[in-house]
Amino acid sequence: MVEEVARIVGFDQIPSLLPQAPSGTGLTPTQAAKRRVVRGLAAAGYTEVLSYPFVPADRNETFSGVPADRQVVVANALDPQTNRMRASLLPGLVDVIHRNHSRGLVDLAVFEAGSVFLPPKTLGTDDIEPGAALPSTKSLERMNASLPTQPWWVAGMLTGHRQPRGVGAGTEAFGVAEAIDAARAVVSLAGGDLTVSQGEHPAFHPGRTAELRVAGTVIGLAGELLPSLCDELEIPRRVAAFEIDGTALLEAVSGLPTLEPLSPYPAATQDLSVVVSADHPAGDVRQALVEGAGELLESCELVDVYSGEGLEPGTVSLTFALRFRAADRTLTQAEATEAKEAGLALASSRFDASLRG
């Protein structure tokens, strides 16, 4: 009836008025951090994708570790083979890689940010009160406690070559290093500092898996998928991936990324090569050096790993590039050496590290 009246009178006679937008407080810190992460990954060259949150039970268990009988089941699923709510973002990214690779797109760097569905201790309730009556507070609390938790996660997959072939330029395949770099970018955009150590996961290569920590909290992992699993999933045999619990990350960081002012004082640089057991993760040794060296240490980067002739079997040599700087004066080499030796002393006490001759 309203449309008919408007047609007779004339649509051109109806004024176009936009409502006044109310003032607000803008994005919350959490919303702003999520937007920085997504936009930052896109700006770095990763393609954002959206996958279905419904996955097969076996693939869900492979990547999340949640047993099939504990997964959230969709009662009226359109496809009975994909009737589980995802407990990991990786199954959906596997489908994206498979679909694109089958169509000739072999160099891929994709990511997704979204919710996963983790079951609580008790999923669902059997004592729901009858309809036509307001549930009691205790009943509502019981029902809310039975709902799956839905944290916000970020994950990515990379396969193929990180740069195309060209004249005078060779190809470089994506690997665990690129997955860790992507995870480091996520943490940095959120305002945190990433610590990497040796990790393990049944779906990842045992020697190419990293555990990701922020402020001592495990927030995810990065690495390369098992080639045998890739064959089973019908995707390329070398696929790098990372997955981060974004909710845990945002709870662990202090806030916005901080920028340090440029110092007017020069830095003192020194290298340090230590010999440790191959069983000790390089990230843990680095952490000991950082803690021991104290506030004068500005940067500590692993630049070389060596094992073989000249070293005892089962040991490895780790070389770190150290950069020292004071905020109020020019450091002397003696002060830098003293800080370096303090870091070596702590690494020696923790990991029996010795200075390589």
The token duo for 349 is: 């006490």
pLDDT at 210: 93
Average pLDDT over every residue of 187-206: 91
Residue 350 makes CB contacts below 8 A (sequence gap 6+) with 284, 288
Indicate the Cα dihedral angle 65, 67, 73, 78, nearest 10°.
70
Average pLDDT over every residue of 311-334: 92
Domain ranges of the chain: 29-123+138-252, 268-355
- Where are the alpha helices (H) located in 116-198, listed in sequence order? 137-145, 176-190
Backbone phi, psi, residue 114, to 5°: -175, -175
From the options 3.30.930.10, 3.40.50.720, 3.90.1150.10, 3.40.50.1470, give the CATH code of 29-123+138-252: 3.30.930.10
Distance of CA 297 to the CA centre of its chain: 26
Homologous superfamily (CATH) for 268-355: Ferrodoxin-fold anticodon-binding domain (3.30.70.380)
Distance CA 295, CA 321 (A): 16
Beta carbons of 72 and 147 less than 8 angstroms apart: no
pLDDT tens, position by position, 74-131: 988 889 899 999 999 999 999 999 999 999 999 999 999 999 999 887 766 666 767 7
pTM, rounded to two decimals: 0.79
